[in-house]
Structure 1
Amino acid sequence: MVTSALTQITYSQWNQSDAQIGSAKLVSPMNGVFTFPYDSTTYYFTFANSNPVDFKLYVQPVNYNNFAATYFAAPYFSFTKSWFYLDSTLPISISTNSGPYFYETLQLQGVEGLLSYNVQTHPIDLAHPIVSEPAPINFNSSYGLYFWEIFFYIPYLVAERYLINRKYNDSLSWYGYIFSSKGYRSTDGQLDTTSTGEVRYWNVVPLQEDDSWNTAIPPTTDANLIGMNDPMVFKLTIFLRNVNALIEQGDDYYRQLQREKLARAKICYLQAERLLGQKPQINVNSSWRNPTLGDESNAPSADVPEATSNLLQAFIGYVAGEYGNFKPPYNEELLSYWDKLEQRFYNLRHNLSLQGQPLSLPTYATPVSPMELQMRQNMGNGPGGNTVLPIPLNSQYRFVALLEKARTAVNSVTQFGSELLSLLEKNDNESLTLLLQEQQQKITELTEGIQDINTAMQKDTLTGLEEAEKSAAARAEFYHALIKNGLSTEENASINEQKEAADQIQIAGVYYLTAAAANLAPNIFGTSFGGIQWGAMFAATGLTFQLQSQALQSTANVNSMSASYDRRSQEWSQQEKNAQGEVAQLGAQIAAAKQSIAMSEKQSALYAQELKNQKAVHQQQITRFTGLTLYGWLVSRLSSLYYQLYSATLPLCLATKQALYDELGNPLNANYFAAPAWDNLYKGLLAGQGLQLELQRMENAYLEQNRRGLEIQRSVSLNDLIVSGDPLKTFSSVVAEAYQSPNISTLPVNGVSLKYNSTVEALLVILEISDLDLESACNSNDRKGRFATISVTLPTLLGPYQTVDATLNMGTTTVALSRGLDDPGIFVLDFNDPRYLPFEGLPVTSGLLTLSFYQANPATTTPPAPPGRQWALVQNLVDVIYQMRYTLKDN
């Protein structure tokens, strides 16, 4: 629609090829608004008597790279505003000028410049074309979805992908294009603020401008439509995703079980906690009696409610008027973040793992070999690769068991890789097939065109042959008519006149001879001057011969003319025969040409049918379910699953490596899986084969280096240790001493000390392993010792079917003791168990072995309380005997 002061406008429509596709004259109605018809083929309009004469109104951009900030600008056209301007009654612009501006910003300033807040607020669109001032982009316009995709969905999806791939810093960086808890700063370092002076935390205009929830939810289940209708939904989602990313990053640091990483994990948790703020207090009404329907139906109903009931009813009416029949439900997912952070902080403060197990961490993490780092860097794994290996699984299984599980997982990775390669080949083959079909269609179209031209040429040839046949038939008829008519009247008259002339010449000769004879007679009468003429006879004779010659010449001419006419008649007969032959020959050629044309037309029909069949096959190829689209989806989906399977398998392989290191104790084995097997440039193909190679290398090392070593079993009596250290003490006396001074450890004697914890009512028997000097057994000072198992025997009085309620702890391992007779803390002691036995692999040189007896409290008088269930057991306990089985292997 165009508003103009003119009363009529004559316009023309043009397509992109500068071909006119329409022209008409419009007469302006009363409001001066002209309505121009428009379709997708219209490229621009021209107007009669325009100034300038080449004035064009483009409705599509002329040149993408050189397209101006607005369609209505030089050099495409110019006009005077007094007579031509756009209709200002249109509420929303159906076009946008942002594309070229976005493209230029992306080229000059990159992604950060394109996704900046200034781009969204920069005046680049004409919101109301009658107004000369441009306006910022409108997220509610016809291009609103386009703007949402650029400024919200793209950063969100990229951040989510980075989060799935455990690249948390990159994920938080992309989330920062939408939300930043620190606010956004301008180029001069100052915090950006809103018009009200508040710090701007949101980088998307609709999210920044919307600060309240809508009163009604749109009637749809599409979360995207709900979010765009009420941006508060998106704001809460992005906020929680930021919190979740910080928690996941902290968990990733936590799982690495290094002191430095635990400090980083705490920082991440603190950031998430500060984002969440103080946990809201939600008081849940617990007065509901939960009656049955039968009870309620039998309960009498009061006709007149009491005064308190009136107040209650009034309050219920107030609440119903404010919120409806039900109050808004609280967000359980949001509340779970506070609980999760509280649990993380508790585990950090109490030196527990992420799963709540006790930790015993070295002061410094194991350094990584520079050679290993160099190998990772050189191998790489494609753009954005990470040289840091993932965290191995925290497994309790032995190397042999883990190796089997790892091989099974690696075989799955290999199978996925093979399937992905097969799908890639099928996808490429499908693309190649479609390309060949399209090319074959073009070739068939060209061949069909050539065949059409050939058919046209043959038809032209047939036309020429038919014309030649007509000409030959006309010649035959002409010669036949000549032969049939013979000599013409003039020719017969000429011959007859020649014959008559010859006869006249002969008659003249007779007269000449007669005259000569007459001259020979003498003159009898009259006067004579000469006498007889003797030469007259000879002259007459000569003249006679001359006349005979002329007569013969005339006869010869007649004969020659007759012969010439006969020869001409023969030639005409021959020409007639030749013309008749040409007619027959041309007839045969015409018949052949007609057959050739018929064949050519059938060939054209064949090409047309072949092209139709090819298009049908191509249409079936591109629309069938098992087509290129499906293969593309399968490749994308399987690639994602393939990487996830690889990511799940690699920690299992690293756990196998860690088990090998724990069992062999050889630091040289740490170079396994140093180079990443995944290569993004080639979609991770052959990653399974690379993992399989490393597993085979580890198995070879295990078979080569897993030597038996010295297997030693030692009995350790705590009573003997105490007596040897202080002959005046026994185990029983030390137990009594511990009860005399609750919550205070007794003085260690040969590494043995006891403590009664009155808070938990438990007796703790502590043994310092280093004082046992286990590595010196068999004079083996250069071997490294590791426990195989530890069992406990309790020499005490036990009643019938009485069990022991105690635990044995060392490091992060704790077992429960129930029998008290060579009790290893497990049901069945099986050295072929796929899992490590309790205390297996722990060093024999250090550590505290703590035996805890629960419910071992004595009887008290203030307040009066009976003794604990195991008080008698502890009082009768005279010793604690440990059966320690361990190995000594060459270091």
Structure 2
Amino acid sequence: MFLSKSFHNMIDADARAHQLYVQNAGWTAFPTYISFERINLNYQFFPHFHPYVAVNRAAVPMMKLSLLERLKEGGLPELEDSDTLYMPQPNPPPGQPKQALVVIPNSTRASLSASIAALRPSDNSTLALTAGTPLTLADNTLVTVPKGTLVYHADGSTSNLAADTSLTLPGQIPFAYSSGIQITGTGIIVPDFTAVTLPNGASSAVLTADGSQLNLPNGTVISLRSGLPLPFFYEGIFDNTHYNPSLWVQQPYPVKNLDFSSSGAYSIYNWELFFHFPLLVAVHLSQNQKFQDAQKWFHYIFDPTDNSLGPTPERFWKVQPFQYTDVRMIQDILVNLSKPQDPQLYAETINSIASWQSNPFQPWAVAKFRPTAYRLKTVMAYLDNLIAWGDSLFQQYTIETINEATQIYIMAANILGPKPQAVPNKGAVKALTYGDLRGKLDGFGNSLVEMEVDMPFDMTPTSGTGTGPNGSQILPSIGQTLYFCIPRNDQFLAYWDKVADRLFKIHNSLNLQGVFQRLPLYDPPIDPALLVRAAAAGLDVSAIVSGLNQPLPLVRFQLLISKATEICQEVISLGSNLLSAIEKQDNESISLLRAQHENKLLQLAEMIKYSQWQDAQKSTQALQLSLATAIQRYSYYQKLLGRTDAQIQASIPQLDALDTGSLQNLNFSQLDSGSEPQMSLDPISPDISLKSTSVSDGEFKTLSNHEVGELKKLGLAHDFQETANGINVLGSVLALIPQFKTHVQPMGCGATIDFGGHHLSFNSEALASAARAVADQFSYEAGNAAKLGSYSRRELDWTFQGNTAKAEINQIIKQIRGAQIREAIANQEYTNHQAQTGNAQQIIDFLEGNPVEGVSQVKETTVGFYAWMKREVKALYANAFQLAFEVAKKSERALQNEIGDSSLAYIRYNYLDGNEGLLAGEKLFFDIKTMEMAYHDLNQREYELTKHVSLLQIDPIALIQLRATGSCAFTVPEEAFDLDCPGHYFRRIKSVALTIPCVAGPYTSVNCTLSLQNSAIRTNTDLPGNKYYRQGPDDKRFNDYYGTLQSIVTSSAQSDSGLFETNLRDERYLPFEYAGAVNSQWQITLPSDVQQFDFDTITDVVLHIRYTAREGGDVLKAAAVGNLNRLIKNAQTVGSVRLFSVRHEFPSQWSKFKSVAIGGAILTTELQLSFFPELYPFWSRGRIVGSNQLKAVEFFAEMPPKDTTASINMNDKADKTGNTYILARNPLLGNLLVGSLPSKGKALPAAITDSTHPPLTLYFDNNVMEDLWLAITWGI
């Protein structure tokens, strides 16, 4: 705000106008030297409250407005959905589409399309604004959309405006697939960044950089963008009605809303609630293999599966600042840093760099200025979860899990989209030194430099370009670029490669390690009883099922069980540490709680101590009042005794202050009785008569002389009174005497004498009066003595009262001293209590690990420390237990594999139930030991046998394929083993060695890869339906093994097991160990690209299979023999196919066959072969006779290397008039010429050639082949 009258104005105008005092003139003006400046003060307000934790904004039907209510009523999903609710219908009724969103007042965004001059009304200054300056337009601003502008409609269609269209801002935000401004009342959507015109200008535009208001001229062209949607939790509180802010208040104004700004007081809590918390839980769940639950938590932030209406990608983001926040490219940010175009972006970038420099290892400090980093983090974490989820399914390697993993990988690929391609350089920059760049470096250490094209053949130099120092013409620059490029984000780009790698492996039948592996048609069956036990234990059945088909461990049971025992003992030790941490945490908590309670009690008792101190003070004051009363009484009696005030004041003692120092030193100096002043008592001398006087009835009292005199006088007075009374009585008696008269009247005048009782009575009264007068005198004297006696006693009493007051003063002084001591004690107790309270608080601070004044060391073992220790030990305990459990499960899997019983189960799933999972290690240890003893009890010795399997005998065609192509696959059937030991079952491989008889040069290795693709084990001796052979893939007597593809590579191929040393006690399983021996499918591969020896010299391939077996009994043996006879009869057993090399086994016939020169009249050459019993297996003696016809005859002709003969004809007759049989090229057999005789008819010869059964005779029209193999199939 502008100060029209500043403080300095007031000083100069008023205070300093009369500063100089001049004699006879008074105060006059004095020149001052204080200057002042007129300044503008701008204000920015921020709300420092969280409006919607527990308070509703307004009553909206069917809507909970406070976060607490939403959490209470709708749970976590409704709470997490709170920040992305927008008006007018956050939750429309079912079946009703969502409406266009209302825009936040005065939030329409725009940027200038050209440079203009704008007026700032706050200071009437003119601002030169460049193109691209971001602005915010007020509501009711009128804009014109020009004719021909491409607009969208709610249904996704497009059209061009037929005429200029006026649009009054703010419009609406369409809830459709297109983003932009929807014209209110229509379905027309003006896309973002459309160039429009302000026909009337804009008087309330806001400069986004500093929030100041601007006036834009008429006809200003801007690039228009929609405003921000009005959140449901939004309420304006700074409008004209409530506040009416001036132009000096910067915008945006504070509002009630869920704040996510970097400067918001409560934004950190909203970030924690709506972003960091779900992300933390999701990442934690993903790291703990809870991928589906993790995805659920990720969807609170980012949900790429959202198929609802709405613009993309806004509808995928579930956090408010991620939905409508511009994505700033790093290239644009750095260019703007070197050449500022957007002041707001420049300020944010500077703040971000400063925060990064202050906190180099805290990426969150930088991300709060650039939320795009949060979005990248979320997407990357989401992709990590998908890829880890897919990998966990892929490594199970079943048809179901691979299909599921494929869908997950495809989802990740859809999120990633096409892989970014490297953008070619547009030109080159000149190499510069640090000195050249030093003056141009921006805040990030980069610089904009001129760029020239690499091939400037089309760049015509402009006039005035000039030449360089060497005379060469200077090429014009095509623009500016950053000198230091932006590095590639290899971690982010690796996602495309990783997803592509997984999909490639799936599409090419490779496992996760990239090795080819054939999938079984069905997964192994699941034991329902196991699932029932798992469900009864409250476990995740899906987790149990996913753990059933895990690959076999690489090492043996003995090693695994020892490691499981060791790790379990560590788990037990960690369990003890966990219990100790819990106990210590509880003890520390109790100590802290006790200290807190003591501190609370001390705080509660502080009032009591303070009151006791005040009570002591009041007691002292009361004694002082008592002392004052005693002194007043003492002064009163002293004044009665005739002393002056000065005398009285001088006699009153003064109590000195309490010596608290000696009390603190425990050597009280005022301990003796004379330490306090005392008043001496006045002497009292009563006038006591030495004579004891009887008062009455012989009672004697001690009386003073005055009292004795009084009593005596009173006695005399009493006596005289009694005498007077007696005389009165006598007088009354005498009055009874008659009156006697004597008249003497001489001369008529005379005298009459009257005497009698009246006169006697009168005399008596006279005498009584005299006696009474004496009595009165004695009474007076007695009264006088009594007065003197009372005065004497009064004086004595006053003296006594004065002495009593003195004594009371002395006593009160002592009491005051005691009260002072008690007050000092109470004060010290209060002070000590305060110190004790402070010490108790210090104890609490120390127990809480806070710094304590005067204590150099901070307590480390706090409740928080033990809580951390408990958490860490518990995590370590859980991880160690999980490791022990996994090793124990591997041990159990190894036990099942080595014993051959998959039903053996010793490891349970409920070890961690209750009480922090304590004793889980002990329980697991007991089960491990139980399993170990079970292994020793069940590990019985089985038959140990060796089988030499000749490829020439079991599959001659595969041998031919190997010689021709360097690779073949074959199966070792069960009857091959039944030929040796019929009646055995549960045949499992112990080790395999390979021999390849061939001709190889010196120091030439015969490197052959032998792979076991699958096999089977006959697990019991049952004969369902009295049938020995396998009844399809679901035969429960056989257990198919589809484990990880196992392979060995030979070096010498002479009983080569692919190992340096075949040690049967190797801690690791030997190759193929415990795999099924019967019906085992093998793959042999020789390096055929560059052959080190001639494959044609391979005469056979021999597998030396060491295996174990169990005795099946006579019944199984009889069934095996019967099955052999059946297979021999049907020509389906081992040895039923015999391969002959005509060149080697029939040399005479071969020589004769090759010696004929075909041509001219000679059309064919004859090949005649005779079959004798010695050509067949020994066990066929007596079983095969000449009458037995061959079942099949196949020919394989090897032509010279450069021969291109496509086919060879075989005939029954030399002139080709008989039946013709064609030998044609077969690519699967290395382009050998392959043919056969028909299995029906008379073409097949007898199995034994004799006099009645002719040999096999055929005529060939070509004999240039280098060798000819003949495979015959025979039976009974």
Matched, 1:256 2:396: yes
Q: 1:150 aligns with which of 254, 270, 273?
A: 273
**What is the aligned partner in structure 2 of residue 845 from structure 1?**
1078
- Compared with structure 1, are the counterparts of its residues 708 and 238 closer, same or farther at alpha carbon in structure 2 (3 Å cutoff)? same
Q: How many residues align?
A: 730
Where 1:815 maps in the other structure, the secondary structure is strand
Q: Say if 1:155 and 1:178, in contact at 8 Å, map to a contact too.
A: yes
Give distance in 1, aligned partners of 2:368 and 2:1089.
65
CA–CA separation in structure 1 for the residues paired with 2:403 and 2:477? 47
Q: 1:121 maps to what in 2?
A: 231
Instruction: State the 1:575 CA deviation.
Output: 5.0
User: Which residue of structure 1 aligns with residue 412 of structure 2?
Assistant: 272
Contact 1:856 1:869 in 2 (8 A): no
Match of 1:448 in 2: 606
Check 1:423–1:318 CA distance in 2 against 1; reply closer, same or farther (3 A cut): farther
Q: Which residue in 2 is equivalent to 1:435?
A: 593
1:789: how far off? 1.0
User: In structure 2, what is the Cα distance between the partners aligned to 1:137 and 1:567?
Assistant: 97
Could you say if the C-alpha distance between residues 281 and 374 of structure 1 is closer, same or farther in structure 2, counting changes exceeding 3 Å? same
The within-5 A match list for 1:124-143 is 124-126=234-236, 128-130=238-240, 137=258, 139-140=260-261, 142=264, 143=266
- What does residue 756 of structure 1 align with? 962
The DSSP-based 3-state class of the residue aligned with 2:941 is: coil
Task: Give the stretch that moved more between structures: 436-445 or 544-553.
Answer: 544-553
Q: How does 1:32-181 map to 2 (within 5 A)?
A: 65=54, 67-69=55-57, 101-116=66-81, 117-118=84-85, 121-122=231-232, 124-126=234-236, 128-130=238-240, 137=258, 139-140=260-261, 142=264, 143-181=266-304
CA distance in 2: counterparts of 1:281 and 1:471, whole angstroms = 108
Partner of residue 359, structure 1: 517
1-structure distance, mates of 2:808, 2:903: 103
Q: 1:200 aligns with which of 315, 334, 337?
A: 315
1:379 match: 537
Q: Give the direction of change, closer, same or farther, for the CA distance of 1:574–1:231 in structure 2 (3 Å limit).
A: closer
Secondary structure of residue in 2 paired with 1:529:
strand
**Aligned counterparts of 1:201 and 1:654: Cα–Cα separation in 2:** 41
Aligned-residue sequence identity (percent) comes to 23
* Partner residue of 2:820 out of 582, 594, 600: 594
Residue 988 of structure 2: SS of its match in structure 1?
strand
Provide the secondary structure at the position in 2 that maps to 1:667. Answer: coil
Looking at structure 2, the residues matched to 184 and 127 of structure 1 have their Cα atoms a distance apart, in angstroms, of: 36
Q: In 2 relative to 1, CA 308–353 (structure 1 residues): closer, same or farther, beyond 3 Å?
A: closer
Taking structure 1 as reference, are residues 240 and 495 closer, same or farther at Cα in structure 2, changes over 3 Å only?
same
Kindly indicate whether the alpha-carbon contact (under 8 Å) linking 1:451 and 1:604 is maintained by their aligned counterparts in 2: yes
- Please tell me the residue identity of whatever aligns with 1:129: D
- What SS class does the counterpart of residue 655 from structure 1 fall into? helix
In structure 1, the residue matched to 2:616 is 458
Distance in 1 between residues matched to 2:475 and 2:877, nearest whole Å = 58
Q: Distance in 1 between matches of 2:1089 and 2:234?
A: 81
> Which of 864, 870, 884 is matched with 2:1093 structurally?
870
- Secondary structure of residue in 2 paired with 1:711: strand
SS at match of 2:305: coil
For residues 629 and 436 of structure 1, the distance between their equivalents in structure 2, rounded to whole angstroms, comes to 16
Q: In structure 2, what is the Cα distance between the partners aligned to 1:60 and 1:172?
A: 33
For residues 275-332 of structure 1, the C-alpha deviation after alignment (integer angstroms, 9 at most, x for no partner) is: 22233444889xx9xxxxxxxxxxxxxxxxx998755999999998454235443332
2:385 to 245, 253, 272: 245
Q: Structure 2 matches for 1:276-291, cutoff 5 A?
A: 276-282=416-422
Distance in 2, matches of 1:768 and 1:423, equals 61
Change (3 A) 1:319 1:869: farther
Stretch deviating more after TM superposition (840-849 or 385-394)? 385-394
Distance 1:672 1:321, change over 3 A: farther
Aligned to 1:652: 887
Following superposition, the deviation at residue 139 of structure 1 comes to 3.4
Q: In structure 1, give the amino acid aligned to 2:902.
A: P
Alignment-mate amino acid for residue 139 of structure 1: F
CA positional deviation for 1:567: 6.2
In the alignment, what sits opposite 2:149?
none
Higher relative contact order (CA 8 A, sep 6+): 1
Are the counterparts in 2 of residues 767 and 850 from structure 1 also a CA contact under 8 Å? yes
Deviates more, 1:691-700 or 1:100-109: 100-109
Rg larger in structure: 2
Q: Note closer, same or farther for the CA distance 1:582–1:259 as it changes in structure 2 (3 Å cut).
A: same
| Deviation at residue 227 of structure 1 after TM alignment | 3.4
TM-score with structure 1 setting the length = 0.70
Is there any run of 5+ residues in structure 1 with no aligned partner, and where? 2-32, 39-57, 74-97, 186-190, 289-305, 517-521, 723-744, 858-867
Tell me if the contact between 1:380 and 1:675 (Cα under 8 Å) persists in the aligned partners: no
Whole-Å Cα distance in 1 between the matches of residues 51 and 714 of structure 2?
97
Deviation of the 1:399 alpha carbon: 0.8
TM-score by length of structure 2 reads 0.50
Provide the rounded CA distance (Å) in 2 between the counterparts of 1:659 and 1:693. 18
* CA shift for structure 1 position 464: 2.5
Name the structure 1 match of 2:903.
668
Q: For the residues of structure 2 that align with 1:318 and 1:413, how far apart are their CA atoms? A: 74
Q: Which amino acid aligns with 1:774?
A: F
Could you tell me which residue of structure 2 aligns to residue 9 of structure 1?
none
Residues 609 and 829 in structure 2, CA contact (< 8 A), matched pair in contact too: yes
8 Å Cα contact 1:372/1:674 also seen in 2:
no
CA distance in 2, matches of 1:264, 1:311: 56
The answer (yes or no) to whether the contact 2:65–2:233 under 8 Å persists in 1 is no
Matches within 5 A, 1:467-478: 467-472=625-630, 474-475=632-633
Q: Is the 8 A contact 2:996 2:1054 kept in 1?
A: yes
Within-5 A mapping of 1:784-863: 784-796=986-998, 800-811=1002-1013, 812-855=1045-1088
Return the match for 1:529 from 734, 744, 752. Answer: 752
Aligned-partner residue type, residue 553 of structure 2: S
Change (3 A) 1:284 1:855: farther
The structural deviation recorded for 1:343 is 2.3
Q: CA deviation at 1:337?
A: 1.9
Partner of 1:49: none
- Matched position secondary structure for 1:702: helix
Q: Between 227-236 and 822-831, report the one with greater CA deviation.
A: 227-236
Aligned to 2:933: 700
Secondary structure in 1 matching 2:912: coil
Which residue type is aligned with residue 1104 of structure 2? Q
Asked if structure 2 preserves the Cα contact closer than 8 Å seen for 1:403 and 1:656, the reply is yes
1:536-573 CA-partner distances (Å, limit 9, x unpaired): 67875676467546745763675477466366666666
- Confirm or deny: 8 A CA contact 1:808 1:816 kept in the other structure: yes
Q: Which one has a larger percent strand, Structure 1 or Structure 2?
A: 2
2:1103 aligned residue (862, 869, 882):
882
1:815 touches 1:838 (CA, 8 Å); kept in 2? yes
Q: Is the 8 A contact 2:742 2:753 kept in 1?
A: no
- CA offset digits 1:216-271 (Å, max 9, x no partner): 25414353354343333333332232222211111111222332112211111121
Task: Report SS of the residue matched to 1:677.
Answer: coil
**Alpha-carbon RMSD:** 5.0
Task: Confirm or deny: 8 A CA contact 2:1005 2:1051 kept in the other structure.
Answer: yes
Partner of 1:768: 971
Question: Is residue 2:823 matched to residue 1:620?
Answer: no
- Stretch moving more, 811-820 or 351-360: 351-360
Q: What's the CA shift for 1:659?
A: 0.8
Matched residue SS, 1:790 = strand
What is the Cα deviation at residue 654 of structure 1? 2.1
Q: Taking structure 1 as reference, are residues 60 and 712 closer, same or farther at Cα in structure 2, changes over 3 Å only?
A: closer
Name 1:182's counterpart in structure 2. 305
Deviation, 1:129, is: 2.4
1:188 counterpart residue number: none
